[in-house]
Structure 1
Amino acid sequence: MQTQQLGRLSVRKVMEMEDGMPLSMIFPQIVGADLARLAGWHHDPDLTADPASSTLMLSMHSFVVTLNGRNVLIDSCNGNCKQRSVPSVHMLDTPYLSNLAAIGLAPEDIDMVMCTHLHFDHVGWNTRLENGRWVPSFPNARYIFGKRDYEHWAAQDMVPPHREAFDDSVLPVVEAGLADIVDVESPTAALLEIGDGIWLEPAFGHSPGCCTIHARAGGAEAIFWGDVIHHPIQLVRPGLPLAFDDDPAAAVAVRKSVLERVADSDTMCFPAHFRGTSAGQVLRDGDAYRYRFAEA
């Protein structure tokens, strides 16, 4: 993804990895007609005309928003050296920090880390292993955690992999005194002010306290929707529940609301798991939606 410049703010992507699962495992309700409709505006080499032989591939990446000289990293992926009960992300060794360096930033250059929610694939690089201890990866940053998610996972003793991630990627940040646990029941400013800065809005459903992150500074609005929408196929069938949602009905309502809000507007969307350039805009497509990816 090339740098997206929206007024006074810029957005860059930091890649970690890709991972995939059988489409029929995640969305068993998807039929061939849905895939044909998606193929009309999006080519995915891992999707075929047959749902049974299709793979749902997801990108794992962060975004860095730069505004007024401050760098805000959004969603910190899986992390390296993490003990996980999910085999595909267990004990990873990815070039994430090298990819951060490739856009000209060191960990010390990050001023704020914001997590749309506290699932394992959105918090992992909050910490890194140093002399057998988990220490904050971004030592000069304040880390913003939503209170609902924080309290939910703090109360769970044995729910892998999210409790695993809470223990090694969230608690060490809190113990280091770098965390701000915020109550996001309504739009809440994180940097500058709502409408001219970076702020969070509640999007509860996929996780108990997940949020969308918004940024605007003299140009089009940016929305970082986290896991409200995982894959472009959900624009064809936005009403489909997802097995990973904490509250599927609430998650569907949030997804429909977000799509309705941004469709046919100048809002630039930054999905947490879309492949390719990731960034783009939502357009109406009859009774559903389609996505116009930004240029590479």
Structure 2
Amino acid sequence: MQPIKLGRITVHKVHEMDSPTPLLMQLPGVTAADLARLKRWYDPGDGELTDDPETSRMTFGVHSFVIEVDGQTILIDTCCGNHKDRSLPEVHQLNTDYLGNLARAGFAPEDIDLVMCTHLHFDHVGWNTRLDGGKWVPTFPNARYLFGRRDYAYFVENPKGEALHYEAFRDSILPVMEAGQGILVDEDHVAHREIGDGVWLEPAFGHSPGCCTVHAQAGGEAAIFWGDVIHHPLQMIRFDLPFAFDADAPQAGRTRQRVMAKAAEEDLLCFPAHFRKTSAGRVKVDGDAYRYEWVPE
């Protein structure tokens, strides 16, 4: 994605990795008819989608977004991180060039003023910290880190069934709090200026107990950074299906539908956490569901 300018805001994408998984492992219940409908407007052309759910894959783009606004540099979601012990083999002990990609976007870790995490799952907090002399330290030494209260209160208790995310909580959240750079905020917190002219959170509960969307507008088009409300374009057709990591699947489905309706009605420029291609785009009504129109490169 090339940088996108929206009034006083400039948005950059920082790529970490692409992560393919079997489709039905993440979205059980997808049918051949769902795939045929999706392929009317989305097919990456690399074999990810076949005509059969059993042989199709779901490939996640894993990336951050950087917002420049009014002299502030804000990083949204920090991906998986390097050198971290994870019980999921695909993300165990990664060694990606994320910081190199951040530099190529024009930023050093010291340039980041604020880190915002849409929620506290492992693939949204990992680069909060880096390994330095055998110790986890904040990657962005000059930044304040905003963490939602609900997710923090949930994960600090090491909840049953959340071992993967608790691993990330221990090495990517607690060291930031111990360094005095973490701030717990409500899920409707205004991070910069005011609603409608700044950067703010809105609750989007379901995927995690405290999942949020980040909104930004400053003298131009309105933008939404929806985190994991929608992982893959297929969920725009089947927003009713539970996703593998949803904490409250029925609530997550309702949230998906509400966010898509809002994005379509208000013509928001959308920045999904896991869509491939240019990632950025717009939600459009498509009969009884939705479709996505990517911003061209």
Which TM-score applies when normalising by structure 2?
Answer: 0.97
Distance in 2 separating the partners of 1:157 and 1:10: 38
Equivalence for 2:39: 39
Distance 2:291 2:34 in 1: 12
Contact 1:188 1:194 in 2 (8 A): no
Gaps of 5+ in 2: none
**Structure 1: gaps spanning 5 or more residues:** none
1:290 aligns with 2:297: no
Distance 1:2 1:102 in 2: 12
Give matches, 1:68-83, under 5 Å.
68-83=70-85
Tell me the equivalent position of 2:181: 178
Check 1:157–1:40 CA distance in 2 against 1; reply closer, same or farther (3 A cut). Answer: closer
Whole-angstrom CA distance in 2 between matches of 1:122 and 1:18: 14
| Aligned counterparts of 1:206 and 1:23: Cα–Cα separation in 2 | 18
What is the SS of the residue equivalent to 1:270? strand
Partner of 1:166: 169
CA distance in 2, matches of 1:9, 1:160: 37
Deviation per CA, 1:224-264: give whole Å up to 9, x if none: 11110000001111211212110011101110000111115
| Residue identity opposite 2:5 in structure 1 | Q
Give the Å deviation of 1:157: 6.3
What amino acid maps onto 1:33 in structure 2? Answer: A
CA root-mean-square deviation? 1.0
Q: 1:141 is matched with which residue?
A: 143
Counterpart in the other structure of 2:29: 29
For residue 172 of structure 2, what is the amino acid of its counterpart?
S
- Count of matched residue pairs: 294
Q: CA deviation at 1:194?
A: 1.1
For 2:204 and 2:39, how far apart are their aligned partners in 1? 29
TM-score w.r.t. the length of structure 1 is: 0.97
* Match among 98, 101, 116 for residue 99 of structure 1: 101
The residue that corresponds to 2:270 in the other structure is 269
1:49-128 correspondence to structure 2 within 5 Å: 49-128=51-130
Secondary structure of the 1:209 match is: coil
Matched, 1:15 2:15: yes
8 A contact 2:267–2:283 mirrored in 1 = no
Alignment of 1:209 onto 2:249: no
Q: Once the two structures are superposed, what CA deviation does each residue of 1:55-85 show, in whole Å capped at 9, x if it has no partner? A: 1100100000110121100000000000000
Residue 86 of structure 1 aligns with an amino acid whose one-letter code is L
User: Following the alignment from structure 1 to structure 2, what is the Cα–Cα distance between the partners of residues 85 and 77?
Assistant: 16
Give the 3-state SS of the residue equivalent to 1:63 in structure 2.
Answer: strand
- Give the Å deviation of 1:265: 3.6
In the other structure, the counterpart of 2:3 is 3
